[in-house]
Amino acid sequence: MKLSTRTRYGIRALLELAENTGDSPLQIKVIGKKQDISIKYLEQLMSILKGGGFVRSLCGSKGGYLLAKEAKDIKLIDVFNCLEGPFVTVECLADKSLCSRTSDCVTRKVWFKVQKAVNEVLESMSLQDLVEQAKEQRELNYQI
Amino acid sequence: MKLSTRTRYGIRALLELAENTGDSPLQIKVIGKKQDISIKYLEQLMSILKGGGFVRSLCGSKGGYLLAKEAKDIKLIDVFNCLEGPFVTVECLADKSLCSRTSDCVTRKVWFKVQKAVNEVLESMSLQDLVEQAKEQRELNYQI
DNA sequence: ATAATATACTACTAAAGTAGTAGGTTTAAT
DNA sequence: ATTAAACCTACTACTTTAGTAGTATATTAT
DSSP code string of A36-93: T--HHHHHHHHHHHHHTTSEEEE-STT-EEEESS-GGG-BHHHHHHHHH----SSGGG
**CA atom of B50 to C1′ atom of C12, Å:** 24
Q: What is the DSSP letter of B65?
A: E
What is B1-69's CATH number?
A: 1.10.10.10
Using DSSP, state whether B22 is helix, strand or coil: coil
pLDDT digit string, tens, across residues A4-15:
999 999 999 999
CA A113 to chain centre: 22
Whether residues B12 and A107 touch (CB distance < 8 A) is answered with yes
pLDDT at A22: 85
Name the minimum distance, in Å, from the CA of A20 to any CA of chain B.
Answer: 16
B15 contacts on A by Cβ (under 8 Å): 106-107
Tens digit of pLDDT for each residue in A9-32?
Answer: 999 999 999 999 988 999 999 999
What are the boundaries of each domain within chain A? 1-69
Find out whether B65 and B10 touch, Cβ atoms under 8 Å: no
Per residue in A53-89, pLDDT tens?
999 999 999 999 999 999 999 999 999 999 999 999 9
Q: What distance in Å separates the CA atoms of residue A29 and residue A36, rounded to the nearest whole number?
A: 10
The H helix count followed by the E strand count for chain B is 7, 2
Among B6, B3, B35, B8, CA closest to B20 = B35
Interchain pair A90, B11: CB under 8 A: no
Q: Whole-angstrom Cα distance, residue A42 to residue A31?
A: 9
Q: Select from B3, B87, B110 the Cβ nearest to the Cβ of A125.
A: B110
CB B63 under 7 Å to nucleic chain D: yes
Burial of B19 (0-12, 13-18, 19+ CB in 10 A): middle
Cβ-based neighbour number of residue A103 at 10 Å: 10
- CA-nearest residue of chain B to A9? B107
- Picking from A122, A93, A91, the residue whose alpha carbon sits closest to that of residue B4 is A91
Q: Calculate the CA A112 to chain-centre distance.
A: 22
Vertex A50 angle, CA A67 and B115, to 5°: 80
Q: Residue B120: name the closest of A87, A122, A121, A106 by CA.
A: A121
Asked if strand D comes closer than 7 Å to A83 Cβ, the answer is no
Instruction: State residue B99's pLDDT score.
Output: 84
Over residues B74-91, mean pLDDT: 95
Query: For position B94, what pLDDT does the model report?
Result: 87
With contacts defined as CB-CB under 8 Å, which chain A residues touch B90?
A: 2-3, 8
Name the pLDDT band for A99 (thresholds 50, 70, 90): confident
Residues whose CB is less than 8 angstroms from the CB of residue A137 and which lie 6 or more positions away in sequence, other chains included? B104, B106
The model's pTM is 0.93
Tell me how close the Cα of A58 comes to any Cα of chain B, in angstroms.
27
CA dist., res. A16 & res. A46, Å (int): 12
Which among A79, A86, A89 is positioned nearest to A51, based on CA atoms? A79
Residue B144 — pLDDT band, cuts 50, 70, 90? low
**Chain B hits for A107, Cβ within 8 Å:** 8, 11-12, 15, 130
Q: How far is CA A22 from the centre of its chain?
A: 22
- Residues B11, B14, B16, B19, CA torsion sign: negative
Residue B22 has pLDDT above 90, yes or no: no
Give the minimum alpha-carbon distance from A64 to chain B in angstroms, rounded to a whole number.
23
Give the tens place of pLDDT for each residue, B83-141: 999 999 999 998 888 888 776 789 999 999 999 999 999 999 999 999 999 999 888 88
